[in-house]
Amino acid sequence: MKEDIVQAQAQFVREQVGRTYLSDWMLVDQALIDRFAETTDDHAFIHVEPEAAREAGFDGTIAHGFLTLSLLAPMRGQISRPVFPGLRSGYNYGLDGVRFLAPVAAGKRIRGRMTVASIEERQPGRFREALDVVVEIEGEDTPALVATWITLHVT
């Protein structure tokens, strides 16, 4: 039985590394930006005051970078991929190399492009997965952000 799980895990790693998954498009509207501003107590004018944001050189308000980053969780929940064999639990282990490359204007749609960069067994039954994440802005060439998202799978 244990040997079957080990073989299934090895096959899972071979099949997943290099695969890319896309989330659905998500609308980042002013109501979402305002709720985030209230939650974080970050009411910077570029996020909540359209006229002041225009005077600062934007077409209107823009989403907080941390709002865009926080939307990775629901984006990952939208992708359909197989469950790690024998998984007991998974933990958000953190992010490496987060960079905010372009602002997300209010009213734009974004989606996550997540590529499995690696899955390594660090200790028996503990696997570290790295996802290379790009948050795309619909109709724009430059992504909103890039990062490597680390998850720990415990079997």
Per residue in 39-72, pLDDT tens?
999 999 999 999 999 999 999 999 999 999 999 9
For the cut 70, the answer to whether the pLDDT of residue 1 exceeds it is: no
* pLDDT classification of 2: cutoffs 50, 70, 90: confident
**What single letter denotes the amino acid at residue 85?**
P
User: What are the two backbone dihedrals, phi and then psi, of residue 65, each rounded to the nearest 5 degrees?
Assistant: -60, -40
Whether pTM exceeds 0.95? no
Domains of the chain, CATH where assigned: 2-27+62-154 (3.10.129.10)
17, 117 Cβ separation under 8 angstroms = yes
**What single letter denotes the amino acid at residue 100?**
F
Distance CA 119, CA 134 (A): 18
Percent of the chain scoring above 70 in pLDDT: 99
Q: What is the pLDDT of residue 20?
A: 98
